[in-house]
Amino acid sequence: MKLVTKEYENKMKKSLTVYENELSAIRAGRANPAVLDKISVDYYGAPTAINQIATIRVSDARTIAIQPFKASDLRAIEKAINASDLGMPPQNDGKMLRLIFPQLTEERRRDLTKQIDKMGEEAKVALRNIRREANDKCKEMKKNKEMTEDEQKVSEKSIQELTDKYTKELDKITAAKNKEILTI
C-alpha cells in the first residue's frame, strides 16, 4: 500500500520538475541561459546542445555571451539560434555571439503570464491523471483481493492528499514565475 503511494508520489515529483524546467525556458526580460537549452546545433551531422560546444555566460542583466570552443562553430550556432523560436537575433562580432534581451512591454508581460497559467493548468491535469491512475490501481488491487476495502479508502485518501500537496506547490511555482515576469 505504501509502495503504491510512493510510486505515484515520484511520478508527481517528476511532473513538477518537468513543469519547472519548462518555466525556466520562458524569458522574463532578464538574461537566462536556460532559454538556449532547447536549441540544438548541427555539429558534424549530430544535433548537439549549444552548451556542449560553447561557453555560455550572462555578461549583464540583459545579455548572454556565447563563446564557441572552436571559432568555426560560430556560424552554426548563429544559424541554430536564428532558426529557433527565440525571437532574438544574435549579434556576431566574429569571436562570440551576444543575445540581448529586450525590455518586455506590458502587453508581452500579460501574454507571458497567460501562457504560464495555461502551462500550470496542463501540469495540474497531469497531476490529476496520475491521481486517477493511482486510484484505478487501488480499485484493481481491491478487486484482485490484494487490498481490503479499508486499505483502498486509506490509499485513495493519501493519494488525494499527495495531489493536493503537489497542486499547492505547483500554484506557488506559477505565482512566483508570474511575479518575476510582472516585475519591471
- pLDDT tens-digit readout, 61-100: 788 899 999 888 888 888 888 888 777 888 888 888 898 8
Residue-wise pLDDT tens digits, 100-139: 887 878 888 888 899 999 999 999 999 999 999 999 998 9
Identify the domain containing residue 112 by its residue range.
Answer: 2-25+105-182
* Total of domains in the chain: 2
**Residue-level pLDDT at 10:** 92
Verify that 52 and 12 share a domain, yes or no.
Answer: no
Question: 81, 100, 119: which is the final residue of a domain?
Answer: 100
* Whether residue 113 sits in one domain with residue 90: no
88 and 52 together in one domain: yes
CB 181 within 8 A of CB 109: yes
Q: Are residues 111 and 124 in the same domain?
A: yes
Nearest-angstrom CA–CA distance, 108 and 117: 14
Q: What residues contact residue 7 under an 8 Å CB cut-off, 6+ apart?
A: none
Domain boundary among 100, 118, 145: 100
> Mapping DSSP to helix (H, G, I), strand (E, B) and coil, where does residue 147 land?
coil
pLDDT of res. 104? 78
Same domain, 132 and 175: yes
- Domain shared by 92 and 109, yes or no: no
Predicted local confidence at residue 167, as pLDDT: 95
Chain segment 43-70, per-residue pLDDT in tens: 888 888 888 899 889 888 788 899 999 8
Q: What is the mean pLDDT of residues 165-171?
A: 95
pLDDT of residue 43: 85
Looking at the fold, whether 174 and 122 belong to one and the same domain comes out as: yes
pLDDT at 184 over 70: no
Task: Return the pLDDT at 173.
Answer: 93
What's 91's domain CATH number? 3.30.1360.40
Q: Are 31 and 60 in contact (CB under 8 A)?
A: yes
> Rounded to whole angstroms, how far apart are CA atoms 50 and 127?
32
Question: What is the CATH classification number for the domain harbouring 130?
Answer: 1.10.132.20
Partner residues linked to 63 by β-bridges: 60, 100
Region 163-180 average pLDDT: 93
Q: Does residue 12 share a domain with residue 39?
A: no
**Which has more confidence, 140 or 31?**
140
Residues 90, 118 within the same domain: no
Closest CA to 134 of 18, 20, 10, 19: 10
77 and 126 in a common domain: no
